[in-house]
């Protein structure tokens, strides 16, 4: 079956020579009735029905169980325990740190071509024989629909692995100038210590990238997956191991969040944090790092993405249908549980009656339910009932002659700065909006929804309290996980310490 799928997509990459590859974005499959990808996915979903997978901690290449047993429940069927797992204790987390450090030097010295090949092979496995499995586990465990799982756990994760490999190989080729008497080179070393990767529930791809990108660049990693994404995260982890990732490079460490944070930030070998999650958690970790600065051998690299209160602003010249449909997708796909989801809509009074009518009309057609049984489902149950991270859209209706004031309001309403979109047809309005909203969004969309960033097309991230804006999915992201060393080799002996002017 998977060979048929590969024939449909074509190869996502081709080798040019050992140090360069040409990569294209993974095509998104449609899962139409009768298609081979739909049949493969339905079989994978049937195989998971009613089953509970045992997911251990993996420390030093060994599966470890502790008495602190937990269960991951399917969000739309709480009777289904999709995974049984355990929390790593403080002692086990420290054991994972030691196991990672023991592997660090050998892994860092491995040629980047060899490291890249592992991630390219993992991408091929996700693209082919393991695609249906990872999609099914994302749907059952995180409540994603077919297309949302496909965009995330297949296309985006494959793109992360392939493009990061491409960027790493190109980075090594980027070398400084040399002159006749000396050769200059740049060595892109991994960081000295270990990186902690803390991943969220809402994107399988983010987990794979938070752990995978630092590992690709020669780092060793402790991966703490989200409790509500363990099934898919473990599947990705196993694929990386099967693709050739040495067991000690990434330790798989489900843990209590505060205990994990306390333990890793108190280690003298802590050298980096790759994080996606809430603002309070990221601030807490940042403060802990600050308090422990004196014990570290290096200043740790802190990379974090914390979400946003993202906006759609509609100008009176906008195409109303496009604005309405884009807003419905942005606000309600995956139950609004995307860090880029639209939660603020600004509409001009002159268009509001039409916009409201269309919003309510189309909103009434949305089907909510079990995405594994009915492929017509648009979104399913939200993960956490305690958080306002769901399908909620607020609307601000403004007098259209106060458009500029509204742009200033958008810029100052929240402390976030992740994504935003403007819907307008007038070029002058678009340019003015871009200027006044320059700092309001790290990813800015014109006549498109605020969600759906694609690796290598729209590298993702925001600043302000939305995060450190390191742009995963772009060529500069991997630089965060390197410690470059400049090397000068001189070929002509120095015969005199004195300079010519001193003669």
CB atoms within 10 A of CB 149: 27
7 pLDDT higher than 80: no
The helix/strand/coil state of 167 is helix
Question: What pLDDT score was predicted for residue 386?
Answer: 79
Give the integer Cα–Cα distance in Å for 37 and 4.
Answer: 8
Q: What percent of the chain has pLDDT over 70?
A: 96
Alpha helices in 217-294 (DSSP H): 230-242, 257-265, 279-291
3 pLDDT higher than 80: no
CA dist list (Å): 385 to 71, 143, 199: 17, 14, 19
The tens digit of pLDDT for each residue in 147-204 reads: 999 999 999 999 999 999 999 999 999 999 999 999 999 999 999 999 999 999 999 9
H or E stretch covering 134:
helix 131-142
For the question of residue 339 being annotated catalytic, the response is yes
Long-range contacts formed by 366-372: CB under 8 A, 24+ apart:
366/328, 366/332, 369/76, 370/76, 370/77, 371/76, 371/139, 371/143, 371/144, 371/145, 371/146, 372/45, 372/136, 372/139, 372/140
What secondary structure letter does DSSP report for 478?
G
CB atoms within 10 A of CB 402: 13
What secondary structure letter does DSSP report for 222?
E
- Give all domains of the chain, ordered by start, each with its CATH number: 35-306 (3.40.605.10), 310-464 (3.40.309.10)
Q: Which pLDDT band, with edges at 50, 70 and 90, does 503 fall under?
A: confident
Question: What pLDDT score was predicted for residue 19?
Answer: 52
Strand 20-23 and strand 13-17: pairing? antiparallel
Residue with tokens 């995974």: 83
Residue with tokens 């899962």: 31
Q: Which residues contact 219 (CB under 8 A, 6 or more apart)?
A: 104, 107, 108, 190, 191, 194, 195, 271, 272, 481
Task: Answer yes or no: are the C-beta atoms of 108 and 189 closer than 8 Å.
Answer: yes
CA dihedral 39, 41, 47, 48 (to 10 degrees): -150
Alpha helices in 174-266 (DSSP H): 204-216, 230-242, 257-265
Supply the pTM of this predicted model.
Answer: 0.95
Which one of 57, 86, 306, 339 is the catalytic residue? 339
Which one of 37, 305, 333, 342 is the catalytic residue? 305
Task: Answer yes or no: are the C-beta atoms of 186 and 173 closer than 8 Å.
Answer: no
Q: Which pLDDT band, with edges at 50, 70 and 90, does 18 fall under?
A: very low
- In the structure encoding, which two tokens stand for residue 96, read together? 């994972």
1 pLDDT higher than 80: no
The tens digit of pLDDT for each residue in 35-79 reads: 999 999 999 999 999 999 999 999 999 999 999 999 999 999 999
Task: Answer yes or no: are the C-beta atoms of 356 and 320 closer than 8 Å.
Answer: no
For the question of residue 11 being annotated catalytic, the response is no
14 pLDDT higher than 50: no
Average pLDDT over residues 311-320: 98
4 pLDDT higher than 80: no
**First-last CA distance in the chain:** 80
Task: Answer yes or no: are the C-beta atoms of 418 and 339 closer than 8 Å.
Answer: yes
CA dihedral 290, 296, 301, 302 (to 10 degrees): -30
- In the structure encoding, which two tokens stand for residue 274, read together? 């790759």
Average pLDDT, the chain: 95
The tens digit of pLDDT for each residue in 394-449 reads: 999 999 999 999 999 999 999 999 999 999 999 999 999 999 999 999 999 999 99
The tens digit of pLDDT for each residue in 452-482 reads: 999 999 999 999 999 999 999 999 999 999 9
């Amino acid at each position: 079956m998977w060979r048929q799928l590969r024939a449909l997509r074509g190869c996502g990459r081709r080798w040019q020579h050992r140090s360069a590859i040409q990569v294209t974005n993974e095509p998104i499959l449609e899962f139409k009735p009768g298609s081979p990808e739909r049949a493969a996915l339905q079989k994978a979903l049937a195989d998971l029905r009613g089953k509970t997978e045992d997911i251990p901690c993996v420390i030093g290449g060994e599966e470890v169980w502790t008495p602190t047993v937990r269960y991951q429940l399917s969000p739309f069927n709480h009777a289904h325990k999709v995974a049984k797992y355990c929390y790593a204790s403080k002692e086990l987390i420290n054991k994972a740190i030691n196991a990672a450090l023991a592997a660090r030097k050998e892994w860092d010295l491995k040629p980047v071509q060899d490291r890249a090949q592992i991630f390219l092979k993992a991408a091929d496995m996700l693209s082919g024989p393991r695609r249906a499995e990872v999609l099914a586990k994302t749907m059952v465990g995180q409540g994603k629909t077919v297309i949302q799982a496909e965009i995330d756990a297949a296309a985006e994760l494959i793109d992360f692995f392939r493009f990061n490999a491409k960027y790493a190989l190109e980075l090594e080729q980027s070398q400084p100038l040399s002159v006749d008497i000396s050769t200059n080179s740049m060595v892109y070393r991994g960081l000295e210590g270990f990186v902690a990767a803390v991943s969220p529930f809402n994107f399988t791809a983010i987990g794979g990238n938070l752990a995978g990108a630092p590992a690709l660049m020669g780092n060793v990693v402790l991966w703490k997956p989200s409790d509500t994404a363990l099934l898919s995260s473990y599947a990705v982890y196993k694929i990386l191991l099967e693709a050739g990732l040495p067991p000690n490079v990434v330790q798989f460490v489900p843990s209590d969040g505060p205990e994990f944070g306390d333990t890793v930030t108190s280690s003298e070998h802590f050298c980096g944090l790759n994080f996606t999650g809430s603002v309070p958690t990221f601030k807490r970790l940042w403060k802990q790092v600050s308090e422990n600065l004196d014990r570290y051998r290096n200043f740790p690299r802190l990379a974090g993405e914390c979400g946003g209160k993202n906006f759609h602003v509609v100008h009176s010249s906008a195409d109303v249908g496009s604005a309405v449909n884009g807003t419905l997708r942005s606000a309600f796909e995956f139950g609004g549980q995307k860090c880029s989801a639209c939660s603020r809509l600004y509409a001009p009074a002159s268009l509001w009656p039409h916009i409201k009518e269309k919003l309510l009309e189309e909103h009434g057609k949305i089907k909510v339910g079990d995405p594994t049984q009915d492929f017509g489902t648009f979104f399913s149950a939200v993960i956490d009932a305690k958080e306002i991270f769901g399908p909620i859209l607020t609307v601000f209706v403004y007098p259209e002659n106060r458009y500029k004031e509204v742009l200033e309001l958008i810029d100052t309403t929240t402390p976030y700065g992740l994504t935003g979109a403007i819907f307008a047809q007038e070029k002058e309005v678009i340019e003015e909006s871009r200027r006044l909203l320059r700092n309001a969004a790290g990813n800015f969309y014109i006549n498109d929804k605020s969600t759906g960033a694609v690796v290598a097309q729209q590298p993702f991230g925001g600043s302000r309290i939305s995060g450190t804006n390191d742009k995963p999915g772009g060529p500069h992201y991997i630089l965060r996980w390197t410690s470059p060393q400049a090397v000068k080799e001189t070929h002509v002996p120095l015969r005199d310490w004195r300079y010519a002017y001193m003669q």
